[in-house]
Every structure is written in structure tokens, then in C-alpha cells.
Structure 1
Amino acid sequence: MKRIVLTGGPCAGKTTALVKIIEHFSSLGYKVFIIPEVPTLFSQAGMDYLTDNYAFFYEGEKATLEMQIALEDKFTRIAETIEEPTIIVCDRGTMDISAYMKPAMWQDITSALSTDSERLRARYDAVLHLVSAADGAEQFYTTATNAERTEGLELARELDKKVISAWSEHPRLRVINNHENFDTKINRVLQEISNVLEIPQQVIEERKYIVRLIGDIPGAIESDIKQTYLTSEPRSEVRLRRRTLNGVSVNVRTTKKTLPTNEQVETERQIDNNLYESLMRQADPYRYSIHKIRKTFIWRGQFFELDTYLEPISNLQILETKGIVDHEDVNFPPFLEVLEDITGKTEYYNYNLALKR
């Protein structure tokens, strides 16, 4: 059983994506449960999230979080009673709620419920964030598809970034770009869920470029990454990644196995510090650990990762964006100078950059 959050900014395509998820994975033999968007249920019942009444807002948001947790837990217990494989997809998750209030109130609410942001994020196997149409696909932005939606373009962009920030410490956060063709966006959602379910996928090259940062990145989220490759079997790659964000470190063990059909199965598991230190003893003696600073951001509807390498090499910055199909252009931001397109150049894969020479 897997529990997945489908989130995103306003008018991002979640409603359509949920329908496609049910159709696609039901046809593969999965039982799909959809947890409805709790704030919408509350709004329809009379909750006013725009109120100036502090006590009313606090109790409403606290009740929203309580209901979100309760629904997820109830459906998890229901899912445990059936034999077929199950997927629980949450139309927004617990951390989405934090994006709509000040940090101090969120701290008060989570403390009152004897939980915290780290434990709430850990409830999910993956988080898929669909970028709002307000960022890069403005011609498709509308408030007509949800009677409870009141956001204009600028507010929608701001909320989009706040939601990403709320989930940024989750080890399997995937941001789904806007595309020229909306079907491409939906197919990316299905591909990412298939990866979580460990269904073999065709290997898709990510767009990568050597760049130079020449200005400030607005709204970037910065994290520190240490990546170590372990000894592994042929046609397999195993790595440990420790990602530190806002003083909190998350460890992930990733295994990539290439099948004889050239399809790839990728498995990711979050691990504790003790297991991390134990597995580090299996570090590949022929490779260095990679240390880099990552800045993630959205520009004109596309999600980017900018890695600045510190060890074992320096003076290298690589920009990566996922999910851009062959005929689409990359919307390069003005604060980056593109030096070289290295998409598909194996010498720039982290696995090869780590090689001792």
C-alpha cells in the first residue's frame, strides 16, 4: 500500500489528474482510494478561511488538520482489509494546510495535536506537486472549475511557491511542470506514481545544462546534499543521499536497476541515521562522495534544480529540469547564463563525476 499526496497551486489540473489516476491504475489491478480535499469540504459546510476572527480561523484550521489525519488513517485501515494492491491518493495533504497561515499558528496547531511537520511529511510515500496554470500557462488559468477558488494570478503564484516550500523537506517531492500539451503533464503524474509503485519505466533523459549563476534566484529553496555510491551488482546503481534543509537532515537510499528490456526500476527508501552510517561502510572505494548545494525554484511554469558542486570537483554548476518533452523549449531564467547543453552526456552523470581518476 502506498499513500501519495497530489497537491499544487490553484488551477494546476488536480481534478483531471485524479480521474486519470483512478482510470489508469484501476486498469492495472490496483484499488485506488481518493481522500477528498478537506478545506473544500469545510468551505462548503460554512468555514470561512478568509475570516479576520483569529479564534474562528484557528479552530477551523485545527479541525481541518484533524479531519485530514482522520480520513487518511481511516482509509488506511480500510485498505488493509483488501487483498489487491492499493493506492491512497490524497487531494492535498497535511502540510498543505501550513501554507495558508503564519508559522507561529502552525506551530501552535501541530503542538496541540501532538505532532510536527516532520512527522506529518513522513506519513506519505511521495508528494506530487502540479504547478499552477498561473505560472507559465496563464491563458488556461480560471477560477471557474472550483467554486471555492478566489485567487488571482499573483496570489496563485505565491501560494504555489508556499505549498512547494511546505513540502520541500519530503525526500520524494516531485514537481510537475506546465507543458504546451496538458496531456503531457498528466502523463508525467502517471509516470511518477508508477515509479513509486516500482512499475518498470522507460528511461527518460532529464534536460541538463552547464550554467553560470549571474544574479539572485527569487524564491529559491536551498539545501545541502551529500551523495555516496555503494558497491552494487552489475546493471544496478545504489546510492545514499543525505539532504539537509533548514537544519533538518533526511537520508534516502536509492536503488536503480536496469532490466534486460532496458526499462528501469527505481526504489527509494528513507532511512534513519544509524542505518545510514552502517551503509556508508559499503561505499564504493572507486568513487568519491559528492557534496553540492542545490537551489530549487520555479520559473515560468517549469521546475528547476541548480546544483553547485563543492566536492570532489568545484567550479561546476549544473541546471536540471524534468519532464520537458523533446519538442518543448526550456524557459531559461535571466539570472542564469547557459554554457553547454549536456543532456545525455554520461560524463556528467553524478555516478561518473564521483569516479576517482
Structure 2
Amino acid sequence: MHSIKRIVLTGGPCAGKTTALIKVIEHFSSLGYQVFTIPEVPTMFSQAGMNYLTKNSALFYEGEKATLEVQLALEDKFMRMAEACGQPAIIVCDRGAMDISAYMKPEMWTDITQAVGTSTPKLRDERYDAVLHLVSAADGAERFYTTANNSERTEGLELARLIDKKIINAWTGHPHLRVINNDEDFDRKINRVVKEISNVLGLPQPIEDERKYIVEVTGVMTDFTETDITQTYLATEPGSEVRLRKREWKGNRVNVHTTTKRISPTEEIVVERQVSNNLYASLLQQADPYRQTIHKNRKSFIYQGQFFELDTYLKPIDNLMILETKGIASHDDIKFPPFLKVVKDITGDTHYYNYTLAIKH
């Protein structure tokens, strides 16, 4: 049977999801994939009479519980159809289960998931192969923000930015969460979606250097997600790189095994899979004897529509802070936040690759 990938396409208001869905259907259908799309359930419910802004707490609870139940039921039914179609298939969800949690208090979300017979770890970490979050135009691309293309959308800019960040927080911890930045050229934003899905499918992709800078923190940082990362490289064949990463935040833990294989000077295949704690411990026995384990603290945040990761290294080196942003073309300006001072541009400098920093001296 063909492998079926289930992918969430999410984001804040006016992020470009509708356009991205059209592009995904066209692109991957032309490559021989059957593309199924799950419609946005809250929009269906709103159009059918559900008022998510109701002051009636009982109605709100029943509406959100029904939203989750229908979301999961639709996904399960389309999975069965995908299994029966007899060709490679992708299921693209216009928002996923964890999006629902961003619009209520954590206590209510816990009650609803228990009533439905599931949990946050099952919905966030195990159900989907990838989560692609498109940043709202309300953050960094304000002139493109409009409510005209969605009669259900009434958010102002500040509320839209807040929703954007709540959704990212809801999905934080998924082993393949990718945040798609805003871009002056909207086509590049949409093409990044296609590239990330291609990675999930194991299709060869062009090798691209991520933009990286050594920085110093000169001001107060607020509104970020903090994770603790332990990264170990495993022994492998020449031309391949195998990484075992443990991410911990707020009492949660996710382990990801990543294999990167170059198939030509300009192309590579990246395969990620989540592994259990027991398998993680077993795989550590295959650690590369010539490399040390990397330990770092990561702060992730959005500034002016661009997604950043700030890594503070703890081992095997310290006093090193590297800022990284993804999905920004080499000729585009990076909107550096005011609380950071750029010390050096290290984009493409192999001395600062994690794989190099881990070498034992």
C-alpha cells in the first residue's frame, strides 16, 4: 500500500491558505498524487449558524466539542478513501485539531479532549505528518491584510497577530512544524509550502543555506516560545548525516530522528520521523564517536512577519548565540528585532554548522 501523508495547513487570519491549497492541489496532482482536502470545519459551522463569539458558555462548549468531533471524523473518513484510491495520496487539512484549542481556555480544551476520548499529545504529536503555519499578513505585511475574502473574518490587526501566535503555540512540539514567513513576493511564500510538503514526501529538493547570524541580546525579549534541545549525531555512511534530537518544553518531550542524504551536488533528501523515548535511548548507542552531543536553548518568535529561532549554546561550547530565519530569499531584507545586535553573518559558513560544532578536538 502507498504511504499516505496527512498535512495541516494553518495560520493566522489572511495568511494565504486558500491560495496555497490551490497551488498544492495543482502541483502534486501533476506529479501523480491524489490530493484530498479537508475543509475548515469552524467556517462550515459558522455558516450553518454556530456563533463562536456567543456569551452562552454551554453553547460554546457544545459547539467547540462538535467542531473537534467533526474535524476528526472528516479526517478519518478521508484517510479511508485515500487508502482505497490505489495511488500515492496526500490529505491536506485546512486547519487541524490543535487549531481549535487556540480559541479557548486550557481547562476547557482538556475537558473537551477527554470527552472525545483523545488528548493533546495524540492530536498534536501523533496525528499529522507535518504542520505548516503561514504567518498572517497582519504581522509584517499589513497592507495586504483584508477581511474582504472571508465573510466570517472580523479580526483587527492586533487580534489577528495574537491569534497567529496562539496557533503557533498550540502546535509547538510537533516534530515537523514549519512556520512560513511573509514575503514581499507572495509566490515565494506559496512555493515554500510546496517545498515543505515535498520534503515530507521524500522528494529531492535544492540545497539551500539558511540565513544565520551570530548575535548578542541587547534588550528585553518578550513573547517567545522556549525549548531545550539536545542533539546527537549518529554514525552513518559517507554522504549522509543522521541526527537524533530531543526537544523539551513545559514538561513535554518530543524525539525526532532525521536523515539527510545528498543525491547530487545541488540536491538532497531529508527524512524525519518521531521516535519513542525507548527507541531514542536505544539509538543513542549508535552515537558518532567523533562528535559530542550539542545542548542548546532555543527561543522562537515572530517579528514583523518573519519567523526567527535564537539558539544559545550550552555544550560543547558556550557564549555562542546564533539567530536563524528560514524561508527568506537571499536578496530579501531581514527585519532584525531591536533587542538583538548582529555580530557576524555566518550564512553558509560550515564552521558554524551544528555538525561541525559537534566535532571532538
Partner SS for 1:80: helix
Ranges of 4+ aligned residues in structure 1 off by more than 3 Å: none
Q: What are the residue-to-residue correspondences of 1:166-315 with 2, within 5 Å?
A: 166-315=170-319
Distance 2:170 2:8 in 1: 13
Q: TM-score, normalised by structure 1?
A: 0.99
* Aligned residue type for 2:320: L
2:321 to 300, 317, 321: 317
User: What is the letter of the counterpart of residue 350 of structure 2?
Assistant: T
Letter in 2 for 1:15: T
The residue number in structure 1 matching 2:342 is: 338
Alignment deviations for residues 238-261 of structure 1 (CA, whole Å, 9 cap, x no partner): 010000011111100000000035
Residue matched to 1:110: 113
Aligned partner of 1:96: which letter?
D
Identity over the aligned pairs, expressed in percent? Answer: 69
- Amino acid corresponding to residue 78 of structure 1 in structure 2: M
Partner Cα separation in structure 1 for residue 107 and residue 41 of structure 2: 22
Alignment-derived partner of residue 6 in structure 1: 9
Deviations 1:100-120 (A, max 9, x none): 011111111011112111100
1:71 corresponds to 2:89: no
Deviations 1:302-356 (A, max 9, x none): 0000000000000000000001102100000001111000000000000000000
Q: Which residue of 2 aligns with 1:89?
A: 92
**Structure 1: which 5+ runs fail to align?**
none
1:54 is aligned to 2:65? no
Question: Match for 1:80: what amino acid?
Answer: E
Q: Once superposed, what is the RMSD of the aligned Cα atoms?
A: 0.6
Q: Which amino acid aligns with 2:165?
A: K
CA distance, structure 2, for counterparts of residue 354 and residue 103 of structure 1: 39
**Secondary structure at the counterpart of residue 341 of structure 2:** strand
* Whole-Å separation in 2 of the counterparts to 1:214 and 1:272: 39
Q: 2:141 aligns with which of 137, 141, 150?
A: 137
Report how far residue 219 of structure 1 moved: 1.1
Gaps of 5+ in 2: none
Q: 1:215: how far off?
A: 2.1
| C-alpha distance in structure 2 between counterparts of 1:245 and 1:87, whole Å | 30
- C-alpha distance in 2, partners of 1:51/1:9? 21
Q: Secondary structure at the match of 2:256?
A: strand
2:20 aligns with: 17
3-state SS, counterpart of residue 100 of structure 1: coil
State the shift of 1:71 in Å.
0.3
